[in-house]
Structure 1
C-alpha cells in the first residue's frame, strides 16, 4: 500500500486532530551525549543523531541551536533541534558485531538514515481543544533508561516499544523487548516522550523529573496531567527503522535461536530503549504549528526537500571505526 495521509491516519486511534510528521536524515553517528556526558569528547556508547549541525559535546542551554547551526537534516527547515538514540548492532555466531543500517520510513524513502519525528499537539475526543504549550528555548529531556533489562523496569516508561515490520506499513503488535523472530521489513523502534511539564524547569538533574505522563490514561486517551506537571506539551515521538533484513537468515543467528540484536550500550533484551532531545526550533515556529491545526504538512512552516536535508552532515569529533565487522562494541561496551 502506498503511504498517504489518509492511510497513515487509519493507523492511529483515536483520530488525530493535528499532527506534524516529518523526516530528519542522519547527521552523524558517534559517541557524543551532551546531556548525560556533557563536555566529554566520547561518551560510553554510540549514538545516532539527527537535526541541526550545532550538535556538540557541550550544548549550552542558554544558547539557542538556531544561533549556531547552519543547516538541519529535518524537512522542516526551522527545526534545528537534536534528536538521538542508541545504535543497533547484529551479533554473529562468532561473537563479532555489525552495525545495523537505518532506512527511511514510508513516504521518506530518500532519507539517508535518520528517523521520523512526530509532534502531536492534541487528540480529538469530541470536546474543545486544550492549549498545547510548545517547548521553550533551553528545553531538553530524556525518556527511557539504558540500564534496564527486565519487563518490569521497562514498564516504568510508557510506550517505548518495538514493531516487527511485516511490511513498511505495519503498526500493530508492539513489544517492550526485541522481536524474537526475523522481521520481513525490519525492526522499528518507537520512542514516545512524556506529555506533561512542570511549567518551570527546562531541564532537571536526571533530565526527566521536569516532565511526566498523564496522571491517568494516556496522551491518546486525553488523560489529565498531574497537579505537579500541569502544562500539556506536544507528544514527541520517534520512529527509527532498523534495516535488519540482511540479517534475517536464521543460520546467522545464535545456535540456540535467541535473537541476535544488541543496543550499542550492550543491551540484548531491548528493555533499555531510550531517546534524547534538545529543543531547537527557530523563534516561535513550533508554537505556531501547534496552534495552527497543521496536519502532516504545515504551510505555516518553512520546509526543505529530503535531498537538501541529506546534505547537512557532521564529521565525527573523534574518528572511530563503526563499520565493518567489529570484535567489540564501540567504547568496549560489554553485552549484559
Structure 2
C-alpha cells in the first residue's frame, strides 16, 4: 500500500510541475481540460520524462498484481506448478509495460516548434505527416490495452485460485471458520470485481482508439483540436482508473479491519497456522489489493493434503483443552489449583 502511494505521489508531482506549460499558450478551455486529464505523457517535452511517467503509472499495476500473485503462490502451497498461470500473466504484463515505454520513447515525433507534443507554439507551422504520428500513437494504445488486459486476467485468475483454496480449506473445518472466511471471500470478490471491470473498460477504450484518431489538428495558431466522444471517454476513464487503483485496496483493508472481531485469533490445524485476524499483512484480496507490506504469508493447504492431517491436528487441540480424568476426579492442573485456593486443602486431602 505504501509503495502504491509513493508511485502515485511521483506521478502527481511530476505532472503538477509541468502543468503550467498548458496555461502559457493560447488554447481553448476544452483542449486544456483534455490535455490535463489525458495523463502526463502528453505534457512533457523530454522523452525521458515520458518513459519515467509511463513506467511509474504502470508500476502500480505491476506492484499490485505482483503481490497478489505472491499471495496466490502461498495459497497454492508454494507450488510453482499450481501457480504457473498467474506467474505467466504477471511476466507478460511486465513485458508489455516495458515495450510500451520503449515504443513511446522511440516513435513520438518531438519537434522544437511545439511546446508540448502536438500543441503548436504561436506562429509555428502546422504538423507535417500527422497521419504517421496518429498511427504510431494508435499502436502505442494497442500495447497499453494489451497490458491492461493482462492486468485484468491476472487479477481474475488469482482471485479464483485463492477463493478455491480457501473454499477447500474451510470445507473441513467448523462453521465458525467458514463464516469468518465467507466475509473475506465476499471482500475479495467485490474488490477484485471492481478493479478488473474498471481495467477492462479502460482496455476496451484503448483498442477503440485504433478506429477513431486521437486528434486532428487544424493548423491554426490556437491549435484547435476536433476530439471525438470516444477520445473524451478514454480520457475520463484514465482518471477513474487512477482513482480505483488506489481506492479499492484501501477500502478492502478498511472493510476487513472493520469486520474483524476479538475472537478471530487463529485457526490451528495439524500442519499449518492460518491467521484469521487479518490485517494488511493477511491475504490481500485486491488489485490491486493488491498492495500491502509483504509480512505474514497465508499458507493454505495444498490440494494434495489429506483430511486425516486435519483430523489429527483437531484431536491434538481438543486434547490440550480437555482435562484428564481419573476415577471420576479431574486432574486438570488449573482446576485443581483453583479448588485448593478456595478450600485450603491439598490434592491428597481432597481425594
TM-score (norm 1): 0.22
TM-score (norm 2): 0.21
- Bigger radius of gyration, 1 or 2? 2
Which has the larger share of strand?
1
